[in-house]
Structure formats: structure tokens, C-alpha cells
Structure 1
């Protein structure tokens, strides 16, 4: 096996796999049997939420099609709630694959960021957001999900 092929294998010790196993805490927004949505700890804007499949997948290209479909359904549901919870003018939804594509956590994940007219998308600075604020944002999104 070449080093590129070895590098492309799923690592069950990635941070999102640890969140799924309950080894690392997360501010959960939504969960069903196939997916989990939670707050990004390095948000690019208030309300930045991640959606991941529970099934192991390094990225879009190796995801099981049924798992991917469930993930996209959750993205749509959570995105509606994020937009409502933050009274956003729009949303940016994105997904990275492999280091050359900008991926840094190698478990498939889709970003949902509420956007506002005239406000630039923030950058991942490497700094962690205030946990209490993330908890407040998660509660706002859960309330919007419950109201839907």
C-alpha cells in the first residue's frame, strides 16, 4: 500500500469519532440514529454548526450513499433551524475533502454558517470559542428545531 493510500484510511481516533463515542464533549444540536449535529468550537460566525454521519467516512468520496443521504437530510433540517434561530439573511454550507481541499478533521462533516448581508465570513483562527456561548447558540437552534 502506498503512503497516499495509507493516509487516506479512516482513523477511528479522529476528534469527531471521539465525540460520537462520548469521549469528548460537544454542544449537541440534533441527533438521530444516523447523524449528529453540534456546534463548531472554532466558529466562523455565530451559530456555526457541523453535521456528521455516525457511520465512519473520511469524506464525501468514501461515504456510504445511504449514510450520505441521511446526512444531507439532517443538514437541510438543521440549516433551516440555524437560519431561523439567528434570523440570518442566508447560509453558507460547505464541505472539505482531503488536505489539498482544506479538510483538517478526517471524518465527513458539513458546515452550516448563518450569514448576514454585509458581514464577511470569519476565519478559523485556531482559537476555541467560549463554551457557554456555544451552549446558548445550541439552545437557540434546538428551540428553532422544536418549533418547526
Structure 2
């Protein structure tokens, strides 16, 4: 059975994509810690990050670094936070978000965004920052 993320990647469920390449994709989470909170996800289903082959894991981290640069630029954040938790969906995913302090990592504070336009705006803002930084993988990923 396909994971929730595989269904988003396949277009069966909506997603606000900010990155597309042959191995990895990235899209905004619907329950952000902060605006711009993005999930970096390999296209191939891998449950635990410790089970991923080195090349795929390296690519995921390369994309996470690019997304981190983008969220820092788009939200003028002092840091880009990165977390691999892996309990919510059995498909490797890296959380990347703009952060100002350690309280920004409190997942119990994350709530589903009720305003779809806020997610759309965050996706546009992040894509624009990524393109400004020279990441062409952010083009043609959404409205």
C-alpha cells in the first residue's frame, strides 16, 4: 500500500511542491511549525532513514540544505532547522523550517493550517527564494 507521501508525489492527493528532481521532492507540510515548514521526501518509499542507501540519503540532505537556504532567505530566519522524526508517516522525510530558537522545534505546537491561501503564499515565497538562489528544481512545481 502506498504511503501518504507517495500518494502526494503521485498527484493523488494535493501538495504544495517547492522542489522536484528525479530522486527527491519537497512540499510544504499542512501542519507547519512555522510558515515555510517543508518536508524533503525521496520518491522511492523508504521507511526509516537508517535503511536508505548512502546515495539517496546524501541526495535528501543536499535538497534539505537547499531548502534550508531558501527558508532562511524567504523568512529572514537566523537558522534553518532540520529534524528527522519518522513516526508520523512510514516514509523517510526530513523536516526543514525557518527557526529563531529551540521552541520552534516543539511539534506538539504544530497545528493544521486552516487557511489554504497561507500555504499557497508560503510555497510561492519559498519557490521564489530558491529560484533567486539558483535552484532551478523549484521552477514549475506549482502555482
TM over 0.5: yes
Indicate the residue corresponding to 1:86 in structure 2.
75
- Give the superposition deviation at 1:59: 1.5
Q: Is the 8 A contact 2:3 2:90 kept in 1?
A: yes
Indicate the residue corresponding to 1:38 in structure 2.
27
Indicate the residue corresponding to 1:141 in structure 2.
126
Indicate the residue corresponding to 2:97 in structure 1.
113
SS where residue 36 of structure 1 aligns?
strand
Q: Is the 8 A contact 1:42 1:125 kept in 2?
A: no
Indicate the residue corresponding to 1:22 in structure 2.
11
Aligned residues: 131
Deviations 1:23-60 (A, max 9, x none): 11100111111111110100111111110011110011
Unmatched 5+ stretches in structure 2 = 134-143
SS where residue 25 of structure 1 aligns?
coil
63, 68, 83: which one pairs with 2:57?
A: 68
TM-score, normalised to structure 1, is 0.81
* Bigger Rg over Cα: 1
Indicate the residue corresponding to 2:137 in structure 1.
none
- Give the superposition deviation at 1:13: 2.2
- Give the superposition deviation at 1:123: 3.3
- Give the superposition deviation at 1:126: 7.0
Unmatched 5+ stretches in structure 1 = 1-11, 98-102
- Separation of aligned partners in 2, 1:67 and 1:114: 24
Deviations 1:51-91 (A, max 9, x none): 00111100112112211111111011111011100101112
TM-score, normalised to structure 2, is 0.84
- Give the superposition deviation at 1:124: 4.3
